[in-house]
Chains A and B, each alone.
Chain A
Amino acid sequence: MKRLLKIYMEKPELAALVLLVLLVILFQVQSGGVFLSANNLRGILGILPEIGLMVIGVTILMICGEFDLSVGSVFALMPMVMAVLMADGTPFILAFGAGIAACAAIGFVNGFLTINYNIPSFITTLGMLFIARSLTIVISGGFPPLLPNDLPNWLFTVFVGPGDLFRMSFVWFVVIAVLASLMMSRTNFGNWIRATGGFLPAAQAMGIPTARVKIACFMLCSMLAGFAGMIQVLRLGSPLPSIGEGWELQAVAAAVIGGTALSGGIGAVLGGVIGAILIRVIDNGLVLSQVDANWFKFAIGFLTIFAVVVNSWLAKRAKAIKVET
């Protein structure tokens, strides 16, 4: 019993999960039962995958010990690359390939510069934040191109599920989240990511190709952010160059709320997903509770700090529980 308690207290995503349940109950009562109605859930679950996919990449990269500020800009750049190509008559699938390739290239550059020149990833990706945002506006030529009419919306944005509760994007999100989670817990690559972020000298001494592992994580992070951006553009029906602004920090906040440590080695994809859900729930719940929407950022900020404090407190309490190792 004690051992079980200790194991659960050491799970960094626990605090976020408890908070999520409490907030859902609070908003449900506050809104007089509207919060969990099918209509409102449809709204939350329709937008969730867009931040959620970004958070998955950011979480994995943070577990690997690095950090990416450029995801918000890549979120806008990828669909803009696609839109520009499609406006020139490129079919969707080729444009999609080009967009993902652009994201992979950005992730590679982020990782390569960070590792090869030993620069903090905060700096490299801050630079990339500006570069990718600027490129988005430059290639759009000032105003966004029109999207063609024959887009595969059935694959990404149509409502599906019981009572049309969620969009196809939610299916993508769940599948990718499960795959990412399995990758981290079940594969040797996941083991390498955690070792690289947990204690770099040990990972190197055990012969893990840490540079390649980190670059792969940077690339994965960029590609997921770009994919998320494409989904948002398909939902909105227009590639706005300003989408995703400020999301890089929301994504980091979600990962941290979910128990991922900035220093690397600690965290879980599930935690990041819970963090992303929390952010969407708060955004939506505040509106339903008729609270001034400007409190949203306050709530995210408070939650980020609160989650870290609770996690550190829980970890300390867990350490104090004595079970034989």
Chain B
Amino acid sequence: MSHPIISVRNLHKWYSGVHALKGVSLDIYPNETVGLIGDNGAGKSTLINILSGVQLASEGEIHLDGKPVRIRSPRDAMDLGIETIYQYNSMVPTMSIARNMFIGREPLKFRLFGLGVMDHKQMAAESTDAIAGAGLHLRSPDALVGELSGGQRQGVAIARAMHFKSRVMILDEPTNHLAVKETKKVIDFVRSLKDLNITGIFISHNIHHVFECCDRIVAMARGEVVLDKRAEDTSMDEILDVL
């Protein structure tokens, strides 16, 4: 087995009095797709928020490619190649697809202290390519994200993550609020991550979805990892038992 791409050591998180993560350690290997499963309040969202830079760990270490890293903001995570796709969607509905694709990472024609003039042409061209690359059929990158369906929005979010060459893609309950057909599309996409050389972490509380598209299943309960097995070595019943 190769070396882990991400390894988390003894991660703790307290929220004023609540011990949400109790020393979680986890290794994630290149190109595998890990299904992270657990009930509400099991700590999976906390773990993911720490990896994507939205929250800071109270204690513990994160290693990327064997080197210790500090993820202090979402920007740090993105710079390390960790992209996150959220349940409630990291898109601004009142802005166009092209603008959404590049929020915070706009290509600039000219810059001074990080501020500058955006290259609209490049944004339009690259977002058109990225959307087509994600298998989405949208006519114009100028359409407002607010006019897209939930599935199309997740599609744009996925296109964005792929465009920025993510190495690790975290999908935080991406199938909530989606229609059945759209859910299937997202599941198919998660299954295809391996071919794209992307390591996936798929969070869900739907066990069926996890079994459909993941190589390995990690179950969390009460802030701890309670099960960590290859998908073929476990069963839905076993997981339901430990949760």
Contacts and interface: CB of A to CB of B under 8 A. Distances in A.
A189 B106 CA distance: 10
Interface string A71-103: 000000000000000000000000000000000
Interface string B115-149: 11110100000000000000000111001100110
A325 B153 CA distance: 12
B75 A207 contact: yes
A59 to B, nearest CB: 15
What's the interface size class on A, roughly? 20 to 34
Interface stretch (B56-64, B83-91, B182-190, B227-235): B83-91
A187 B144 CA distance: 18
Given A198-B95, A325-B140, A188 B115 contact: yes
From A187, A199, A201, name the one whose CB has the most chain B CB atoms within 10 angstroms.
A199
B103 interface: yes
A192 B104 contact: yes
B138 A205 contact: no
A204 B54 contact: yes
B13 interface: no
A102 B117 CA distance: 29
28 contacts: A187-B117, A188-B108, A188-B116, A188-B118, A191-B99, A192-B103, A194-B95, A195-B103, A195-B104, A198-B95, A199-B92, A199-B94, A201-B88, A201-B90, A202-B89, A202-B92, A202-B103, A205-B52, A205-B54, A205-B86, A206-B74, A206-B105, A207-B73, A207-B74, A207-B75, A207-B78, A208-B104, A265-B94
Interface residues of B, number: 37
B102 interface: yes
B68 interface: no
Contacts of A10: 144
Contacts of B94: 194, 198-199, 265-266
A324 interface: yes
B93 interface: yes
Nearest to B107: A188
Contact of B103 (A201, A206, A325): A206
Given A195-B92, A325-B138, A325-B143, A205 B74 contact: yes
Interface of B: 52-54, 73-75, 78, 84, 86, 88-95, 99, 102-106, 108, 115-118, 120, 138-140, 143-144, 147-148, 152
A187 B54 CA distance: 26
Contact of A325 (B53, B78, B139): B139
A195 to B, nearest CB: 5
In the A-B complex, the 5 residue pairs with the smallest Cβ-Cβ separation, listed nearest first, are A207-B75, A198-B92, A188-B106, A265-B94, A207-B74
A32 to B, nearest CB: 44
A325 B52 CA distance: 31
Contacts of B88: 201
A202 B99 contact: no
Nearest to B85: A205
A319 B93 CA distance: 14
A208 B105 CA distance: 9
A287 interface: no
Nearest to B79: A207
Contacts of B104: 192, 195, 203, 206-208
A321 to B, nearest CB: 11
Nearest to A208: B104
A202 B106 contact: no
A251 B97 CA distance: 31
Given A188-B106, A198-B94, 8 more contacts: A186-B120, A187-B117, A194-B95, A203-B103, A205-B52, A207-B73, A325-B139, A325-B140
Contacts of A186: 117-118, 120
A325 B148 CA distance: 8
A204 B118 CA distance: 20
A314 to B, nearest CB: 14
Of A186, A195, A202, chain B has the most CB atoms within 10 Å of the CB of: A202
B92 A265 contact: yes
Nearest to A201: B88
A204 B86 CA distance: 12
Nearest to A196: B92
B93 A199 contact: yes
B169 to A, nearest CB: 14
